[in-house]
Amino acid sequence: MTAAFGRQEMLEHVRRACAGLPETEESIDGFGHTVMKVRGKTFIMMSPEEETPAGLSIKSDKEQQFLLLQQGGYVRTPYIGQHGWVSLDQTTKPNWDEVAGLIRTGYLLAAPKRLAKEVLASLDA
């Protein structure tokens, strides 16, 4: 299997998508995953640096997960897919604009309701 994207490219896209999302924190979890969190809740997980090919998982709900799996370009995330998480299909070139939208949605699902409401209001303005 040949990866359609590299880890550094992926990380740059993720950081750009998260740049305008308040209270987003980047860290490395106990398994070596780069994670993005909002107030302690994870909404993005990236594979450890030494893992090839690079992997990106995004929090979503089950309905969105179903649609993304039907559309293609995404797979059910191992171990946490039953909660709606999706991962980029590592053999296809991602649509980074679409991924940025999924990241925003994942953020809104993980953020406390009041913060999510404020962010949505600022996006509508």
Identify any residues that bridge with 75 across adjacent strands, giving them in sequence order.
87
pLDDT in tens, 56-99: 999 999 999 999 999 999 999 999 999 999 999 988 889 999 99
Q: Three-state SS for 83?
A: helix
Over residues 98-112, the mean pLDDT reads 97
- Tokens (6 digits) for 124: 């509508």
pLDDT in tens, 17-28: 999 999 999 999
Residue with tokens 């559309």: 71
Rg of the chain over Cα atoms, rounded to whole angstroms, equals 14
Identify any residues that bridge with 36 across adjacent strands, giving them in sequence order.
26, 44
Residue with tokens 């939208």: 101
Name all domains of the chain by residue range, CATH numbers in brackets.
7-112 (3.90.1150.30)
Q: What is the pTM of this model?
A: 0.92
CB 13 within 8 A of CB 97: no
d(CA 106, CA 125): 21
